[in-house]
Amino acid sequence: MPSKTPARPPIQLSETDADRLFLLLDRAPADGGRLREELERAQVRAKVPDTVVAMNSTVEFLDDAHGETRTVQLVYPGQADIAVGKVSVLSPVGAGLLGLKAGQSIHWPDRDGRLRALRVLKVSRG
């Protein structure tokens, strides 16, 4: 019987981000189940294009569950502050966006376990 969950798109991570995120998960393993899954399936490269969501990237994405466009910066947990648009990589949205490139979508569970589509519109760094 076919799965109802769409296949996840391919993702890319830089070696630096992958190394730092695996270290983060070693310190907080209970918080990072979804992130660990993404790290383990990612194509790790020395460098990734600027159009790929990396740590500290600013990402404009469409959240189909709410029908709204949001702009956030993907950060480490200690830097997260949703009031200023800084989203932790350990959050459901943060883990779902990591490694996607502009134009890609992913069906990703929210905090309540409901699938929602996240579509990356634009990525910028720096």
User: Does residue 7 fall inside a structural domain?
Assistant: no
Contact present, 51 and 19 (Cβ < 8 Å): no
- Note the pLDDT tens digit of each residue in 75-120: 999 999 999 999 999 998 999 999 999 999 998 887 777 888 899 9
User: Does residue 2 fall inside a structural domain?
Assistant: no
Sort strands 105-109 and 115-124 into parallel, antiparallel or unpaired: antiparallel
User: Does residue 6 fall inside a structural domain?
Assistant: no
User: Does residue 79 fall inside a structural domain?
Assistant: yes
- Domain holding 102: CATH number? 3.10.50.30
* Beta-carbon count within 10 A of 67 CB: 7
pLDDT for the residue 27? 84
Domains in the chain: how many in total?
1
Q: Which domain holds residue 29?
A: 12-124
The encoded tokens of residue 56 equal 């500290």
User: Does residue 1 fall inside a structural domain?
Assistant: no
**Extended beta strands in the chain, E state:** 12-14, 43-45, 58-63, 68-75, 86-88, 105-109, 115-124
30 pLDDT tier (thresholds 50, 70, 90) = low
User: Does residue 43 fall inside a structural domain?
Assistant: yes
* Beta-carbon count within 10 A of 51 CB: 17
